[in-house]
Amino acid sequence: MNWLYIIFVGAIAGWLGSFLFKGSGSGLIWNIILGVIGALVGGWIFEKLNIETTGFSGTILTAAVGAFVVMWLYRLIGSGRSK
């Protein structure tokens, strides 16, 4: 049951992060991956900033912020490569 929750939160957070970053979703699998990684990154960021969130909406917010940061870093690193 815990994995289903993680996948569900990851899908929502990944979609929100990609929607806010580029104006559309990135596909279900990519949204789940992005959301799960984003949850880890967002949790780390919120911990360092002493920001506490609670409940389902707090989990989604944390993961979406993390997903946004992951996408921003990915674009930043990707744009620095020579073409």
Q: Residue 18's pLDDT band (boundaries 50, 70, 90)? A: confident
Q: In this model, does residue 26 exceed pLDDT 70? A: no
Where is pLDDT greater, at 47 or 9? 47
Sequence ranges of the domains in the chain: 2-79
Q: Residue 41's pLDDT band (boundaries 50, 70, 90)? A: very high
Q: Residue 25's pLDDT band (boundaries 50, 70, 90)? A: low
Distances (CA, A) of 30 to 6, 27, 37, 47, 82: 14, 6, 11, 25, 25
